[in-house]
Amino acid sequence: MVKNSEVKLSAVAGDLKKSPSDALVIGVGQGPDGPVLLDNPLTAKAAEALAESLSVLGITGAADQAHRLPGLPEAGATILLLAGVGKLPANKGSAKQPLSEEALRRAAGSAVRQLAGVTTVTLALPTTTLAEVAAVAEGAAMGAYSYTEFRSSQNGLKDPVKNVAILTDFAADKALQPVLDRASLIGTAVNATRTLVNQPPSHLYPESFADAAKELSKGLPVKVTVWDEKRLEKEGFGGILGVGKGSTRQPRLVKVEYAPAKATAKIALVGKGITFDTGGISIKPALGMGDMKSDMAGAAVVLNTVLAIAGLGLPVKATAWLCIAENMPSGAAQRPADVLTMFGGKTVEVLNTDAEGRLVMADGIVAASQEFPDAIIDVATLTGAQLIALGDRTAGVMGSDSVTGAIKAAADRAGELVWPMPLPEELRPSLDSQVADIANIGERHGGMMTAAVFLREFVGKGKDGEQIPWAHIDIAGPSFNNGSPYGYNHKQGTGCTVRTLVAYVEDLLKASA
């Protein structure tokens, strides 16, 4: 089901004619006085002539701009691509400020994405550290992606780039190969997430999603456990069952566990896996409903994060809980005013069946809590309010300060946009129910935060008697791109948050070392 083309990453140094490619990419930035040709492997004469021609050619250096020229003899390529990196950082005194890692990541991803149809690309973006090389490699791995599974003809479609060589002085450094291997693995995880999100709901539904988790896990040291509807009912997963009972496609809970012998930390990741969300009886408007195939992005993220952690061999026990259901209206569907008994015994009055994600997530959070992890992080396309508050590209993160702060730091390092939001105590009374322990909707204003307050009610206590450190990440906006491609992001599924969560685990291990 999940078919990804993977780019082969390598590094080269020196004479490019000895390492020929179809296209050579060099960078152009936006300086205060116009476009600036960045450091490159061209001869001084060729570089000077090119730099003087930038404005005439209409090249500004803006991010995502990609201008093709015929290759030069010394370039070892038939195409010379000038890739915009955006505004250049201001120099401090005589010191030349390097580009940010994210600017390099986006420029590399944009160039590789726009060179689809070309087989081999050499990226000659300026890198002065291994971390910068890693950013270029990650961008390339995410840029080399396409989703064409259901096209009956390949006419007009271009295959993604298959080979990327990075021009760097670190080409002979022994520390480089692990950097490229990690970038390739991250690219694979992000692209697998994208492909799951892009799957049509006719093909990705609870049972097939569970099968896809098994398929993606093959060859990795992970254990996959699936709860079908019978086991879910027997063990009392009322939230997942309640949301899924309106569909002929029965719900699933999938546990993906990576437990290395020498683990020094233990985390649980809970993901919302609504394979299609009509809203149920509280049905959504028809306009834009097709995008609700992406309502399982959180589950795809946590699945591929754990698989990436396993692939990297990180010494942490990481468990993904995929809470999967299809939210459909039917004679069997749950109704507004129904009461569900969640896993663990707490009761919820369902006032709106379109607030279903928090119901399946509550079950998953309780299950995760019973294993006493060091931290629980849940990821969900949970609320439209997230888009109102933070827009299409920035995820909201809420919860325990110790976890949200670390997630923000990891996101900054990974180059993803995350913003911490508060959980005001005055929101909790709005979730009071007259007939159950809690209602599934409350105060409309600040709805992203109200949803997180609901989820917090289900976070269990650790062995010390205190609530387990927890964070909720709402990716409703950034998980799905309805606009034009940008940077390393293509249309539709973005795979956002995978990089942040892997970086979070790496930071956690460094802090405990």
Binding-site sequence positions: 272, 277, 295, 354, 356
What is the distance between the alpha carbons of residues 381 and 300, in angstroms, rounded to a whole number? Answer: 11
Q: Is 284 a catalytic residue?
A: yes
Query: Which of the residues 113, 249, 293, 358 is marked catalytic?
Result: 358
**Residue 132 in contact with residue 513, Cβ under 8 Å?**
no
Distances (CA, A) of 241 to 3, 11, 253, 362, 434: 30, 50, 10, 12, 23
Query: Which of the residues 87, 284, 408, 491 is marked catalytic?
Result: 284
For 175-316, strand residue ranges (E) read 223-227, 252-258, 266-277
Distances (CA, A) of 79 to 62, 75, 118, 435: 20, 9, 10, 69
CA proximity to 79, closest of 25, 127, 8: 25
Distances (CA, A) of 5 to 8, 64, 189, 369: 10, 22, 12, 37
Burial of 248 (0-12, 13-18, 19+ CB in 10 A): exposed
CA proximity to 255, closest of 225, 231, 221: 225
CA proximity to 181, closest of 349, 51, 7, 317: 7
- Residues in Cβ contact with 248 at an 8 Å cutoff, skipping those fewer than 6 apart: 328, 330
DSSP at 316: S
Starting from the edge strand earliest in sequence, which strands make up the sheet with 252-258, in order?
A: 223-227, 252-258, 317-327, 266-277, 375-380, 470-474, 395-399, 418-420
Instruction: Give the residue numbers of the binding site for Mn(2+).
Output: 272, 277, 295, 354, 356
Place of tokens 């961008």: 139
Can you read off the two tokens belonging to residue 108?
């590399």
Helix (H) or strand (E) holding 68: strand 66-70
For 193-250, strand residue ranges (E) read 223-227
DSSP at 95: B
Place of tokens 């969640």: 342
Q: Is 358 a catalytic residue?
A: yes
> How many Å is the maximal CA-CA distance in the chain?
80
Can you read off the two tokens belonging to residue 69?
């020229």
Can you read off the two tokens belonging to residue 60?
């500004």
- Residues in Cβ contact with 485 at an 8 Å cutoff, skipping those fewer than 6 apart: 113, 491
Which residues are annotated as catalytic? Answer: 284, 358
